[in-house]
């Protein structure tokens, strides 16, 4: 039987397509009324997905897509593994310019911190890069969806179609591909297309003391991108990059020190500072397994220094006011 090209569907138009409900002023069987929870409210993303996605889609989403559990650090005195739990909980927080180690510990335990600024933008602080969960939560609470995303990461979080066809993917490692499967209400177009993601990366040369090993696929990108054109200066030069309304910054792009040298100049660049300041949504990902320069960690534990991660996180959130002013 002859199959026409127009009949062929990618995984994100078939098995990995998930239809959003309409966000409107009146709730109904096909829609919902966006509502921002009060500070202190905790929400389970699985329940949020049932409210944001069309009937039956949330259950299929849970069957199709894995979520990573946390680092397997062991407390020697008790044998407890405090960070091993799933990242299911989103918690609304009162806005604060500076987070604390207590906040970092909460994120490591799988609580996504949601901080809404007086100007109307929202910061999400995550342990694992579960971007589809962020999109679903933000849509359910505000009715807003992204137009474009600036994404800085040492890992691309992109995969080929055949990976989705042969595996149950981890959301954190494949979200760039998977987010095309989230379909807007009405016309069912993708929430974000691959080409709506402005991706910059850089991998520091291996140094003594870095954990993990290079597994060779951490910066896989769509075929229409040139792997030699991913330096932040090149990406910021692309039309539309500095107008992205969502920003995703993974701390493993800036840590450890050799990684910070790879991204030298980015934090001082006025275009980047303006982008981060204007963004409606800013996603900050701890990626604690990777912040000492490793791609694949065995055992699966927190790497690097969490106090350093906290200082970097607070710096990134306060740009441009603290854009390395003292350096």
The SS3 assignment for 266 reads coil
- The alpha helices in the chain, defined as continuous H runs, are 45-52, 57-64, 101-108, 131-142, 161-166, 171-178, 232-236, 257-262, 270-278, 306-317
Say yes or no to pLDDT of 1 above 80: no
What's the mean per-residue pLDDT of the chain?
A: 91
The two three-digit tokens of residue 39, written as one number: 């500070």
pLDDT at 326: 39
The SS3 assignment for 53 reads strand
pLDDT at 213: 65
Cα dihedral sign, 87-90-91-94: positive
Compute the 3-state secondary structure of the chain and give helix, strand, coil in percent, each to the nearest 5.
30, 15, 50
Q: What's the mean pLDDT in 108-114?
A: 97
228-240 burial code (b ≥16 CB/10 A, e <16): eebebeebbeeee
Identify the H or E element spanning 152. strand 149-152
The two three-digit tokens of residue 183, written as one number: 């379909």
- pLDDT tens profile 291-311: 998 777 778 899 989 999 999
Say yes or no to pLDDT of 139 above 60: yes
pLDDT at 205: 85
DSSP assignment string, 272-286: HHHHHHH-SEEEEE-
DSSP assignment string, 2-40: PPPGGG---GGGTTT-EEBPEE-SS-BTTEE---PPPTT
Q: How confident is the model at residue 208 (pLDDT cuts 50, 70, 90)?
A: confident
- pLDDT tens profile 47-97: 999 999 999 999 999 999 999 999 999 999 999 999 999 999 999 999 999
pLDDT at 305: 92
Whether the pTM exceeds 0.75: the reply is yes
């Amino acid at each position: 039987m002859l199959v026409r090209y127009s009949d062929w569907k990618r995984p994100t138009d078939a098995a990995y397509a998930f239809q959003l409900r309409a966000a409107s002023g009146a709730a109904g069987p096909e829609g919902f009324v966006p509502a921002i929870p009060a500070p202190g409210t905790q929400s389970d993303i699985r329940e949020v997905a049932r409210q944001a996605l069309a009937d039956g889609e949330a259950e299929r989403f849970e069957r199709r897509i894995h979520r990573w559990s946390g680092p397997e650090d062991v407390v020697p005195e008790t044998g407890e593994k405090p960070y091993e739990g799933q990242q299911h909980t989103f918690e609304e927080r009162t806005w604060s310019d500076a987070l604390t180690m207590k906040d970092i510990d909460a994120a490591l335990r799988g609580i996504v911190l949601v901080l809404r600024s007086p100007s109307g933008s929202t910061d999400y602080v995550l342990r694992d890069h579960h971007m589809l969960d962020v999109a679903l939560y933000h849509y359910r609470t505000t009715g807003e969806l992204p137009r474009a995303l600036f994404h800085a990461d040492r890992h691309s979080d992109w995969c080929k179609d055949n990976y989705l066809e042969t595996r149950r993917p981890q959301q954190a490692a494949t979200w760039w591909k998977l987010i095309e499967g989230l379909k807007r209400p009405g016309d069912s177009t993708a929430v974000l297309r691959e080409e709506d993601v402005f991706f910059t990366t850089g991998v520091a040369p291996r140094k003594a003391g870095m954990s993990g090993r290079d597994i060779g696929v951490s910066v896989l990108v769509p075929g229409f991108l040139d792997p030699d054109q991913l330096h932040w200066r090149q990406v910021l030069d692309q039309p539309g990059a500095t107008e992205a309304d969502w920003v995703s910054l993974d701390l493993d792009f800036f840590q450890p020190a050799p990684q910070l040298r790879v991204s030298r100049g980015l934090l001082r660049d006025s275009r980047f500072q303006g982008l981060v300041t204007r963004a409606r949504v800013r996603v900050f990902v701890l990626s604690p397994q990777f912040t000492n320069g490793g791609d694949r960690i065995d055992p699966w534990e927190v790497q690097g220094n969490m106090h350093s991660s906290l200082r970097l996180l607070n710096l990134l959130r306060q740009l441009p006011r603290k854009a390395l002013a003292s350096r």
